[in-house]
């Protein structure tokens, strides 16, 4: 069986595969399309940043598996690969230590003017007074995101006797303390830390997470480091703050594209690196060894635990998977978007046989920023890495809900756990929510724009809501507003023609003294 490695990857991968009896062709000098054309019989491919396009996939009729030796996999057309029954994997965690050490290097290089001092000294200058530096020892360091990289960074900072503040929405306070970080809210980190390092996922949930408000909270001389994803930091806000005279340092290693170009951060960054986080011999070897072992396990024992473009069983309707993701998102919102400690799900009727396949969809619904397209085992691992206990429960024999799904999320509020609970099913191929908390028999479509309001039942509330939406130019497409006799509350589930803004939601909530108010679009 032939494996192609069209990249400059540590030779350990080729050696491991060769020892296991595979025919390995590794060539980083030859363009990937030419290498593929010369070896159309390849069954596996291992890449780093090389693009695996539809053309590459079509040129390898016997291809079964593509592995990205690294965490990200946007360079692989994994959706098209799925249509060809090709599994795509990554090697999560292989580069974590390299990124953690890069953060330390960036701090020290910036504090001690290493780059500028080298350049000017080589040019014959002697700027000892100009380059009066700072020490990392005893500094207060804030870390946003205590995943694999964040945790390793905490360990690396211990030798500098730093005070470490940590924020991770999904990590319990005690677990953060066990790691060595003091649990701290984002606002306080930005107002008190000398150094702030970002290790959060990319995507819509974290876009411009670091905005003008947070940047303006930073102390003079404070340093912000972005080794996570481009777009997490509003660089225009940094640009404006510096132009206004704010003395802050910005170091970044992430860019819109990993390619030679004038980077948009060039004028605002004090230290700019070409995405070197994972670019170490050790990380390269770790990723190479992990990729080789995954390739061997895939072909020998059918191990698909790291596959990121999983295929559902033929008998499982995709609308039920969509239901799981949508219910998870709704349940998270209903609970107030607080740190999650446990997620428990009950699968009814025919869904019981497919429980494991729902895990990735429940993960991406309940955990903002979680990876999409994971295989069930990898999704379970992701839950654990977020400090969340995930459990698929058996239904009680006396409950019959057809092919329905219940999701309960247990969140932490001021040290206490609260429960948010929803149930849903699929009607005419459409995911619907049938219950929110104690309000049953809703059967409201989950797709589109939804406004949810809980309030003490009394005459005139629906009219007030309708008037407020009308004044905002928002049309009501459907409304369900049952009353719960025991609590005396009503729950309005309103479908609208556009998403109701946060400001409009809060305005309506004040008008009707709502106990729960949020809007979401799915």
pLDDT in the model for residue 416: 83
What is the rounded average pLDDT of the residues 430-448?
93
Burial class of residue 221 (count of CB atoms within 10 Å of its CB; 0-12, 13-18, 19+): exposed
What is the rounded average pLDDT of the residues 149-161?
95
Mean pLDDT for all residues in the chain: 91
pTM for the whole structure: 0.66
Percent of the chain with pLDDT over 90: 74
Given the DSSP bridges, would you call strands 87-90 and 140-144 parallel, antiparallel or unpaired?
Answer: unpaired
Question: pLDDT (tens digit, 9 = 90+) per residue, 27-63?
Answer: 999 999 999 999 999 999 999 989 999 999 999 999 9
In the numeric block, the tokens 């206490």 are attached to 416
Given the DSSP bridges, would you call strands 444-445 and 430-436 parallel, antiparallel or unpaired?
Answer: antiparallel
∠ CA(152), CA(256), CA(308), 5° rounding? 60
100 vs 151: CA distance, rounded Å: 9
pLDDT category of residue 176 using cuts at 50, 70 and 90? confident
What is the rounded average pLDDT of the residues 264-283?
94
pLDDT in the model for residue 399: 63
pLDDT higher than threshold 90 for residue 71: no
Domains and CATH numbers, the chain: 2-94+281-301 (3.40.50.720), 96-272 (3.40.50.720), 312-431 (3.30.1330.90), 448-522 (3.30.70.260)
pLDDT category of residue 94 using cuts at 50, 70 and 90? confident
> What does DSSP assign to residue 164?
E
pLDDT in the model for residue 400: 65
Question: pLDDT (tens digit, 9 = 90+) per residue, 178-233?
Answer: 889 999 999 999 999 999 999 987 766 688 999 999 999 999 999 999 999 899 99
- Cβ atoms of 373 and 360 closer than 8 Å: yes
pLDDT in the model for residue 5: 97
- Cβ atoms of 225 and 195 closer than 8 Å: yes
Number of other residues whose CB lies within 10 A of the CB of residue 146? 27
Percent of the chain with pLDDT over 70: 97
pLDDT in the model for residue 311: 65
pLDDT higher than threshold 90 for residue 170: no
- Cβ atoms of 517 and 450 closer than 8 Å: no
pLDDT in the model for residue 18: 97
pLDDT higher than threshold 80 for residue 333: yes
Which one has a higher pLDDT value, 176 or 170? 176
Maximum distance among all Cα pairs of the chain, rounded to whole angstroms: 85
- Cβ atoms of 159 and 212 closer than 8 Å: no
Task: Find the range with the poorest average confidence among 251-255, 277-281, 374-378, 459-463.
Answer: 374-378
**Cα pseudo-dihedral 511, 513, 514, 515, rounded to 10:** 160
pLDDT in the model for residue 314: 67
Q: How many helices (H) and strands (E) does the chain have?
A: 17, 23
- Cβ atoms of 132 and 271 closer than 8 Å: no
pLDDT higher than threshold 90 for residue 258: no
pLDDT higher than threshold 70 for residue 154: yes
> Containing H/E element for 517?
strand 516-521
405 vs 434: CA distance, rounded Å: 10
pLDDT higher than threshold 90 for residue 13: yes
């Amino acid at each position: 069986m032939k494996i192609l490695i069209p990249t400059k990857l540590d030779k350990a991968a080729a050696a491991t595969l060769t020892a296991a009896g595979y025919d390995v062709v590794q060539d980083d000098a030859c363009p990937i399309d030419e290498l593929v054309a010369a070896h159309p019989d390849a069954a596996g491919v291992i890449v780093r940043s090389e693009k695996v396009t539809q053309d590459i996939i079509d040129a390898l009729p016997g291809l079964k598996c593509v592995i990205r030796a690294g965490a990200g996999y946007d360079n692989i057309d994994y959706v098209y690969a799925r249509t060809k029954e090709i599994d795509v994997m990554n090697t999560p965690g292989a580069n974590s230590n390299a990124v953690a050490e890069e953060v330390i290097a960036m701090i020290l290089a910036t504090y001690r003017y290493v780059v500028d001092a080298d350049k000017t000294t080589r040019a014959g200058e002697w700027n000892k007074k100009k380059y009066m530096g700072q020490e990392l020892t005893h500094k207060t360091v804030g870390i946003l995101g205590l995943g694999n990289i964040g945790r390793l960074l905490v360990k690396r900072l211990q030798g500098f006797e730093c005070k470490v503040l940590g924020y991770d929405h999904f990590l319990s306070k005690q677990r953060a303390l066990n790691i060595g970080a003091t649990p701290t809210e984002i606002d306080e980190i930005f107002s008190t830390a000398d150094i702030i390092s970002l290790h959060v996922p990319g995507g819509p949930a974290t876009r411009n997470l670091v905005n003008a408000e947070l940047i303006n909270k930073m102390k003079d001389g404070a340093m912000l480091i972005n080794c996570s994803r481009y777009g997490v930091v509003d660089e225009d806000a940094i640009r404006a703050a510096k132009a206004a005279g704010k003395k802050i340092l910005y170091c970044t290693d992430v860019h819109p594209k990993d390619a030679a170009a004038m980077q948009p951060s060039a004028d605002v960054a004090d230290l700019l690196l070409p995405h070197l986080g994972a670019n170490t011999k050790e990380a390269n070897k770790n990723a190479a060894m992990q990729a080789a072992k995954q390739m061997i396990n895939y072909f020998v024992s059918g191990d698909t635990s790291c596959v990121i473009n999983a295929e559902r069983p033929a008998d499982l309707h995709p609308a039920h998977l969509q239901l799981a993701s949508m219910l998870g998102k709704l349940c998270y919102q209903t609970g107030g978007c607080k740190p999650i400690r446990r997620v428990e799900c009950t699968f009814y009727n025919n869904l019981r046989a497919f429980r494991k396949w729902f895990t990735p969809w429940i993960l991406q619904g309940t955990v903002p920023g979680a990876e999409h397209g994971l295989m069930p085992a990898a999704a379970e691992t992701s839950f654990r890495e977020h400090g969340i206990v995930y459990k698929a429960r058996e239904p009680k024999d006396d409950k019959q809900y057809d092919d329905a799904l219940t999701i309960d999320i247990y969140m932490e509020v001021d040290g206490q756990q609260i429960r948010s609970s929803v149930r849903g099913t699929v009607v005419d191929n459409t995911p619907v929510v049938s219950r929110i908390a104690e309000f049953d028999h809703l059967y409201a479509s989950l797709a589109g724009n939804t406004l949810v309001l809980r309030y003490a039942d009394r005459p005139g509330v629906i009219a007030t809501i309708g008037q407020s939406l009308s004044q905002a130019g928002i049309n009501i497409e459907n409304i369900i507003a049952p009353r719960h006799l025991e609590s005396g509350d009503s729950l309005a589930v309103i479908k609208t023609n556009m998403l109701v803004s946060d400001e409009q939601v809060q305005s309506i909530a004040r008008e009707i003294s709502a106990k729960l108010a949020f809007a979401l679009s799915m």
